[in-house]
Amino acid sequence: MMFKDRRSAGIRLAQLLLPFKDCRPVILALPRGGVPVAYEVAQALQVPLQVFVVRKIGAPGHEELGIGALAEGGIKILDEQLINHLAVTPDELKNTINREGRELKRRVKDYRGKNFTLDLQGRTVIIIDDGLATGFSARAALEAVRRKQPAEIILASPVCPRDTAETLSRLTDRVVCLAESSEFASVGSWYEDFSQVTDEEVKKDIVKSRLAEG
């Protein structure tokens, strides 16, 4: 299964999530890539789009390789085994975490404003990303959202490795995925167009969602 782009993937993912429409779920997109996917889901379910910021912690010198993740609310998840295997020093790890922490705070302020808070208590929450690879970002988001005491958390994505889906299914109420594969190279390999999503595109989708609600 291939997706033309994130928006077309979101339209298809929305069909699997329509049964949740009547409970008026909170749609949380993991920016940046998860936002255009989640926007289409929010439109189909006729609910506003929100964002929940997470940041991958990349291995020093190999930033594309995730060794952990940060999420709003001070959540930090680390792959200690991989960190030891790569011989990442404490100073390297600290510097990387501090840098990603600053970027996380910048994005929260930029996307939502410093005085905006998410009230998720007792709600059905659907967390959406454009793909799940190692699942570290999703795990960080799940832990942070769980602390806000929602009634139910669904993790949804167009594509994910089968073993990642199995692991994450034990951490949430349900994992919804259009395509699960035991042979998974990268999230981008499932998209014809996997160009980078900009901050401006993220904010534009948030505004469009609020206008549609109003």
Q: What is the pLDDT of residue 115?
A: 57
Q: How far is CA 104 from the centre of its chain?
A: 13
Question: For residue 133, what pLDDT is reported?
Answer: 86
**CATH 3.40.228.10 matches 6-53+116-209:** no
C-beta separation of 43 from 29 below 8 A = no
pLDDT for the residue 114: 66
pLDDT < 50 positions in the chain: none
- A 10 A CB-CB count for 183 gives 6
Angle at 112 between CA 200 and CA 121, to 5 degrees: 140
Cα–Cα distance measured from residue 157 to residue 178, given in angstroms and rounded to the nearest whole number: 7
Q: What one-character DSSP code corresponds to residue 193?
A: -
Q: What is the pTM of this model?
A: 0.93
What does the pLDDT read at residue 118? 85
**56-111: CATH, from 1.20.120, 3.30.70, 3.40.50, 3.30.1310:** 3.30.1310
Residue 85 phi, psi (nearest 5): -65, -40
Distance CA(93)–CA(183), nearest Å, equals 30
pLDDT digits (tens, 9 = 90+) for 17-32: 999 999 999 999 999 9
pLDDT tens, position by position, 150-195: 999 999 999 999 999 999 999 999 999 999 888 787 899 999 999 9
| Inter-residue contact 71 to 78 (CB < 8 Å) | no
| Closest to 54 (Cα-Cα) out of 74, 78, 39 | 74
Domain borders along the chain are 6-53+116-209, 56-111
Residues sharing a CB contact under 8 Å with residue 194, sequence separation 6 or more, in sequence order:
5, 6, 187, 188
Give me the DSSP letters along 49-84: EEE--EEEEEETTEEEEEEEEEETTTEEEE-HHHHH
> Looking at this protein, which amino acid is placed at residue 87?
A
Q: How far apart are CA 114 and CA 137, in angstroms?
A: 22
